[in-house]
Structure 1
Amino acid sequence: MALHRVAVLVGEQTAAFEFGVLCEVFGIDRSAQGVPTFDFRVCAEDPDRPVRMPNGLSLTVPFGLEGLEGADLVAVPATELREFSPVLLDALRRAHAAGAIILSVCSGVFVLGAAGLLDDRDCATHWMNTDELAAAHPRARVNRDVLFVDDGSVITSAGTAAGIDACLHLVRRELGAAVATAIARRMVVPPQRDGGQRQFVDLPVPACSSDSLEPVLTWMVTHLGEDQPVRELAKQAAMSTRTFARRFVAETGTTPARWLSLQRIHHARELLEESDLSIESVARHSGFGSGALLRHHFTRQVGVPPGDYRRSFTHAG
């Protein structure tokens, strides 16, 4: 489907930071970087009354609920409330029935639950809210171990960073890797953390939180086709092999071999989406060496073989 008109639905006690995440991904003109311009609308039940946010902030909203009409995506940021206006919930249900994708960030999932959009669906939220969500909406299948769940027309995410992941995942799903990467580059966040076509998106590899390994990580990504033994990487970092391995896990959340494999898979996905290279060529360019090895790792990580992935997600031509 197209992903052009994006409506953000806000109400009392909408969290400013999570609202800002949606504005950052969808509300900024990045056409100079090749990103399609979104028709971005912020909507509330009563646009004539400023929306009160936590910490004494308020938000003037330009659109009423009619702004949801014709939306390709309706996004709901986190909120401190648990009870919602029947009029607002009905507008959300109508938008979904009309074909809009519904995406929630963090506790915004409670709005979806109140609208009945989580019934018999898999969903995610912040780990602090999983028990509450499961109790409030027993028909929802709350997954406590993932950062976001893509259930097709409903995408739910955990905390703030996971909301960024979910938004970029949706952009990637609908508009391709190049667009998602362009947005991520401007936001200075990872363009695609671990996940993909599986219904549940696994816990991602965290971005490096320190500058100490950044040069090594950059070198690894720009030399995917080369062998990268830990002892050589440790030399680049001016560390012993043992210290490097321990520091790498502390800063990335995984081992060098696992991190490198994920980067190679990510690059293979981009090539499958954006080029007409053969599977063997994709394997060589992404560092797997052979099509057989690419198929093995790709299928295990993404859930489908490279050829099937290309047929579903190609944006070449």
Structure 2
Amino acid sequence: MTTAISATGLRKSYGDKLVLDGIDLHVPVGKIFSLLGPNGAGKTTAVQILSTLIGADGGDVRVAGHDLATEPDAVRAAIGVTGQFSAVDNLLTGEENLLLMSDLHHLSRREGRSRAARLIERFDLTEAAKRPASTYSGGMRRKLDLAMGLVGNPRIVFLDEPTTGLDPRSRRAMWDIIRELVSDGVTIFLTTQYLEEADQLADRIALLDHGRIVALGTPAELKRLIPGGHVNLRFADATDLDAAVGALGETSYDAETFSLQVPGDGGVRSLRTILDRLDAVGVEPAELSVHTPDLDDVFLALTGRTDQPKAAHR
């Protein structure tokens, strides 16, 4: 199996409100796929359908090789779900929460305790394992919530806003855990309000707006869809700068710093063209840097919405 999730023509309505308008999604095994979109775009509805929590109105969907409509139990056995609202029981200790999940997965007492112990160690919760979850910090609760979703040893994990409310250090710790899962072959389906998070983690991103996929690709590919990219070049002296301006045509330059700015998408082909033109006049830049639009620019340009996801705390 090379495709963890495959959805074609996925549709969902609530009364007269069309939430998902025939979207197509294909998520490779062992990758991080991020679904972005404005509030109300349909992200959570998509996750709820793919994780069998609600039914679709139409479309063909396979998750972990199983038909979502006819094999929902097999799908549930293959996935883990961590939502933006924690499933942690505050009255139980961290260990007890994990043992409860092992009971729900019908694991033997011995296997349940073994898995709980491994997850407690993996998520660095050993010192807090015997304490009530009500005493946990936000970052610890998120880690426990994700650990609970892994008790069943899922090969596909749905992470719906996994780092909402976390401080920068806790957020980056969660990123490390997510990358570690992927290195073990787990597929991650991520929705997030933090554009930097998707940029840092996702292999591919789909941008959902008004129930439709309006863009799909790697973070770099999406950024190249938006004009405004440029290459900054700095030269050793005014002579080289003048030669570069003559070779490259219409550019914005600064005579005091011997630098100029050339419009471009930052791709290999455009960079090669710039360097070939400079080489033809015997000029080599002292410094070169590429600037491309970020995901904020992509979001605003393609959705036209002002309620964009949040910029991550730095």
- Higher-Rg structure is 2
Structure-1-length-normalised TM-score: 0.30
Q: Which has the higher strand share?
A: 2
Q: Which has the higher helix share?
A: 1
